[in-house]
Amino acid sequence: MAQTNIYLNFQGNAEEAFTVYQSIFQTEYSAPIMRMGDMPQQEGMPTLSDKEKNMVMHVGLPIYGGVNILGTDMLESMGHHLKIGNNTTISLDLDSKEDADRIYAILSQDGSECVQPHDEFWGYWGVCLDRFGIRWMFNVPKVS
């Protein structure tokens, strides 16, 4: 079933932030924290330092009303720099690649910072900053 989440970016302190959020909302992570070192090496990706390997690749925490907050640490070694405007994303978990492609096609028109949805090791994923300055992420999880 499709779901909307709020995706938060951090610069090395995602785990600390989510520990605080977990204490506030008194819920459990939706899955174990995935670390950058857990990610398969991607072609063209720089080698991660030991510190970067321990950073958060993905964490999820249910809060109120069926909403989840998700998070990741941005990696400076990959050219990522946190600033107001790239720290929050509306993340859509969708039921099909067709839904992802359809919504992406509309929101990416006159947008920027777009990565067309494509297959990744966790599923079908893409992102764009729409013409109104809102960042959207599209994800169709792999079915196990």
3-state SS string over 92-105?
A: EECCCHHHHHHHHH
pLDDT in tens, 26-70: 999 999 999 999 988 778 778 889 999 999 999 999 998 889 999
Residue 80 and residue 140 share a domain = no
- Can you give the pLDDT at residue 46? 80
**When comparing pLDDT for 141 and 79, which is higher?**
141
Q: What is the CATH number of the domain that holds 138?
A: 3.30.720.110
pLDDT cut 90: percent of the chain above it? 67
**Mean pLDDT value across the chain:** 90
- Which of 15-19, 22-26, 60-64, 85-89 is least confident? 85-89
Residue 118 and residue 105 share a domain = yes
Mention every residue, 6+ apart, whose C-beta is less than 8 A from residue 19. none
Q: Quick one: DSSP state of residue 10?
A: E
pTM: 0.76
Residue 101 and residue 87 share a domain = no
The span from the CA of 129 to the CA of 114, in Å, is: 6
Residue 103 and residue 50 share a domain = no
Total count of domains within the chain: 2
Q: What is the domain range of residue 49? A: 1-93
Q: What is the CATH number of the domain that holds 69?
A: 3.10.180.10
